[in-house]
Amino acid sequence: MRKISIVMVIAALFLSGCGFGASETSGFKGGKTEYKDVPTEITSFLWQEWSDTPVHGYLIERRNSGNCICLEGNVNERESMTEWDIDDSVMDELADWVDDYNIREWDGFDMDKDDRKPSSGFELVIELGTGEKIKATGNNVFPKDYDAARNYLTELLSDMPLAANEKSADQEAINGGYTSTYYEEDNYSEPVYSDDLGDMDGDGINEYVEYQLGHLEFMLDGVSIFKHDEPVLYVMGTGGSSYIDLDGDGKEEIFFSFYPSVNSMPLVEFAVLKQDAYGWTAIDKPLFEGEDYLNVKLPFKGIRISKDEMEVSLEGYEDTLTVDIGSYFKDQIAQFKEEGDEFMLHEFEGVYNGKYGDEEFPEGCEFGYPMEWGIWEIDAGTYDGKNCLVATEGICGPYGKDEFFGVIKVYFDYTSDGKRNILNMEFTPYELY
């Protein structure tokens, strides 16, 4: 059973100790980040440790549907991890752990002492509901009070209650909860899915996209012309696709998009493929840069120009938009008053009036930001008679998704050297989206 395997791994990790030696320690002790003064809410939790045993850890996420999943194993090799649905109460217990053991003080901890072989260490990445992150890692060096926090955490993780749909006859109750069956890697494989995109180039052969955990390929006439790998990539399905000239050279490019599974906010990734003498090359492709792979954002920002207005600019585009934010705040404040929600009323009145807690929001400050996780929608379209792509992303205030002003729609095509060329941008207020 899973619990037995976890206990054995944890016991081995405890025997490894926290690491010490005579060599000089390098790195940062963390504890410098200031956080928004709101109750702790966790949307994603990554924890792993290593010593003379293999790397072992957990990745716990809240999906768009609201359910929570847990993956157990080596987070660096996600395709081999075991996955199951867990009760969302686990997120609340993890939030309590963050508060009770002052885990925010760990943020920024990045220490190393390489004198011990084999080394022992840990990695922690927690994403909060505000969009902020707690990130810490150590090699033979650990944060203050690490042992006590780890002991409680490992007990919590070793006995997580399953979601109702995972509680079946072949799962036994333990201490009032449930434990799932542990599947050996040899008996576990990820299925390959295929989405038919139709005959995009009109030659009588349908194009399609194949995808499985961590991997995606675009197939043209049955031949793979583009591959994309992300260790934590879960593709839920494909979106828009077109065979269309996007750089004005008279030859069609291939555009296609797909939806990765993420929590809290929507996300769509996309690629634009161009044919040359050597085959097909991606002039625009999904972004994968370590832990920030989800941030496929449009580079816009908003500057507060008055209490009720914000000016939005987009990198690479000369024009700006003036956005009404006063109506949004007034609507929200009226709603919170009607509901008697004193906490949210205090926050929204403070931000709207220019000060909340220790933060100030005067005229001239940055006040509008792309919402997580990145581009929400994208498809082929036209602008002023030109072929283009049309991408949509939410814009929010300083406190993230709780301050949803509306969406920015950006029209763009490509230059002859494959750079994005912004044609126009539009704003739609939240109540009309």
Q: What's the pLDDT at 25?
A: 57
Contacts of 251 (CB under 8 A, 6+ apart): 245, 274, 275
> Which regions of the chain are under pLDDT 70?
1-33, 52-54, 64-67, 78-80, 114-119, 162-190, 231-232, 263-264, 287-296
Report whether 297 contacts 278 (CB < 8 A): no
Sheet strands (E) in 205-354 = 207-212, 215-220, 223-229, 235-244, 253-260, 269-276, 279-284, 300-304, 309-314, 320-324
Q: What's the pLDDT at 65?
A: 54
Q: What is the pLDDT of residues 207-236, one digit of tens each?
A: 999 988 888 899 999 899 998 887 667 788
Q: What's the pLDDT at 158?
A: 76
Q: What's the pLDDT at 331?
A: 92
Q: What's the pLDDT at 383?
A: 95
Q: What is the pLDDT of residues 162-214, one digit of tens each?
A: 655 544 333 333 333 333 333 333 333 567 888 999 999 999 999 999 988 88
Per-chain mean pLDDT for the chain: 80
Pairing mode, if any, of strands 42-50 and 56-62? antiparallel
Q: What's the pLDDT at 337?
A: 92
Q: What is the pTM of this model?
A: 0.57
Report whether 430 contacts 325 (CB < 8 A): no
Number of other residues whose CB lies within 10 A of the CB of residue 420: 21
Q: What's the pLDDT at 188?
A: 39
Q: What's the pLDDT at 173?
A: 36
